[in-house]
Structure 1
Amino acid sequence: MIAQWPLDWNERLAGTSCEMCGERSPEADDYGLRIYQSHVVDAVLQRASIQRGYTLVIWRGRHVIEPFELSDEEAARYWQEVLKVGKALARFYKPLKMNYQVLGNTVPHLHAHLLPRYEIDPAPGRPFPLLPQNGSEAKFDDEVLNGDASELRRLLG
């Protein structure tokens, strides 16, 4: 069987009902805790126990899919913010390596997946094997997640 793009792919590209274009990320929701907010991004530490420290950095300007759709000024600001979050994640979690994945194959809105990589890892030396989340994933313990978020907010302050 050959996999196909979703039937509503063209609507997703156009930003119709884009879940990342709506309101700013809440302080907390089923997917994660916002650890940083600026004029151009929201950074959300993920609840799913996919990888400790897994964070999305979401572009909060107009609907764009690819980084090259940003003006030079917007791109500079976006990537500065991505790097700021990445640096805080690296300082706190002390991973062997940080990964920055810009995908958008499920939600075509500019966002980066920041993934600390550790000694115990599902794919050493390869890209992190991300799958779309559906809400049924195991979650990190609330106390651990809240503690991590508090320290990351301090580092990003």
Structure 2
Amino acid sequence: MSTENTCFYCEKDQRLDDLMIEICQLHVSTLYLFKEQTYKGRCLVAYKGHVNELFELQETELESYIKDVAKAAAAMKKAFSPNKINYGAYSDKLPHLHFHLVPKYQDGPSWGSTFEMMPAAKVLLSDAEYSELIEQIKQNL
């Protein structure tokens, strides 16, 4: 078994840059804006250490991480006024603790069902549009 770390959240390499833009560092995690923006304001909160499950964290780390997730979600709610924020914690293929924060809008895509991780008709934005979304989130953190 290889000891080489292939986790892009740890390596912070091109694979990560292709999918997300770093917004900022939180207490024990990093907040990213997902480049695919079918769900306006979609973000991801990745734990700074390389663990896969919530139960692997010490109580204080767990509390800090959940507070980071809640802080990011509150900023997204203030910035974009979604009707609901969906939380997704998947890592079947990439074992690193992270939560997808997906704003859902009553008349928008996937309302009333599970969000699509990578929709077929991708919504990609200009650099200026990404910067505007990031600024709106930062102003509300």
**Gap runs ≥5 in structure 2:** none
Match of 1:119? 106
2:34 corresponds to 1:49: no
Structure 1 segments of 4+ aligned residues over 3 angstroms from their partners: none
Match of 1:92 in 2: 79
Gaps of at least 5 residues in structure 1 are 1-9
1:73-110 Cα distance to aligned partner (Å, 9 max, x none): 11000000000000000011100101111111231200
Query: Bigger radius of gyration, 1 or 2?
Result: 1
The TM-score, its normalising length taken from structure 2, stands at 0.85
The alignment yields a C-alpha RMSD, in angstroms, of: 2.8
Greater helix proportion: 2
Contact 1:66–1:110 (CA under 8 A) maintained in structure 2: yes
Q: Deviations over 1:84-139 (max 9, x none)?
A: 00000001110010111111123120000000001233322222121399xx9441
Other-structure match for 1:17? 6
User: How many residues are treated as equivalent by the alignment?
Assistant: 140
Does 2:134 correspond to 1:145?
no
Amino acid at match of 1:22: E
With structure 1 as the length reference, what TM-score do the two structures score?
Answer: 0.77
Aligned to 1:107: 94
